[in-house]
Amino acid sequence: MPPDPVLCLASASPRRRDLLATIGVAVEVRPVDLDETPGAGEAAHDYVLRLAREKALAGARLSALPTLGSDTAVVCDGAILGKPAGREQAAAMLRSLSGRCHEVLTGVAVSGPAGVLATCVTTRVFLRPIKEAELAAYWATGEPADKAGGYAIQGLAAVFVEHIEGSHSAVVGLPLFETAELLARQGVPLWNGALPSGPMS
């Protein structure tokens, strides 16, 4: 039998659910619907932390379990790149990222007995130059349509990534090292209960 959930995930993202499963955290999924429009002049760091906290609090109203909320933003030249509205916007996003470095910021918050604990992780991603034919072919795969910044590092776009500085899992959707620390502080066990809950250091 599958393990009983020990955490509420306030997100429909299969990537976040799968990442939590890799560290042995079974979840109940309770997606929340929030306005994710950045505030006027809101910095990317503040934006992802705000949304992570809001999602965790909204999800906590639907569950008795500690609740995790998270948000990821791709940032280039100070601009937050969300999910592309269509082919042309996706291509424009990838052109702006082509052959250079950009940042991916992921905020994660866990609501539980210790209140709402949150952190933000920044990862620098370096993409090789991307050809126009590759942009068209990549869009045709369907992968970029629902991805912030118009690409998925864990998917077909991995061929564009020269290297990263920081957390790969954070770019996918959840920084596992930092998330494990927050979960431990909220008393959520890891490794399907094989690792007792509590501070990890």
Phi and psi, residue 145, nearest 5°: -60, -35
Q: What is the CATH number of the domain that holds 43?
A: 3.90.950.10
Q: How sure is the predictor about 167, in pLDDT bands with cuts at 50, 70 and 90?
A: very high
Summarize the confidence of residues 12-33 as an average pLDDT.
96
Give a yes or no: residue 118 inside a domain. Answer: yes
Give a yes or no: residue 201 inside a domain. Answer: no
Which of 18, 46, 71, 146 is catalytic? The answer is: 71
How confident is the model over 74-108, as pLDDT tens digits?
999 999 998 899 999 999 999 999 999 999 999 99
Count of the separate structural domains present in the chain: 1
pLDDT at 2 over 90: no
Is 71 an active-site residue?
Answer: yes
Phi and psi, residue 92, nearest 5°: -65, -40
Q: How sure is the predictor about 199, in pLDDT bands with cuts at 50, 70 and 90?
A: low
Give a yes or no: residue 198 inside a domain. Answer: no
Range of the domain at 170: 7-193
How confident is the model over 23-73, as pLDDT tens digits?
999 999 999 999 988 999 999 999 999 999 999 999 999 999 999 999 999
Give a yes or no: residue 200 inside a domain. Answer: no
Give a yes or no: residue 156 inside a domain. Answer: yes
Give a yes or no: residue 59 inside a domain. Answer: yes
Give a yes or no: residue 1 inside a domain. Answer: no
Give a yes or no: residue 2 inside a domain. Answer: no
Residues 6+ apart with CB under 8 A from 190: 23, 24, 25, 180, 183, 184, 197
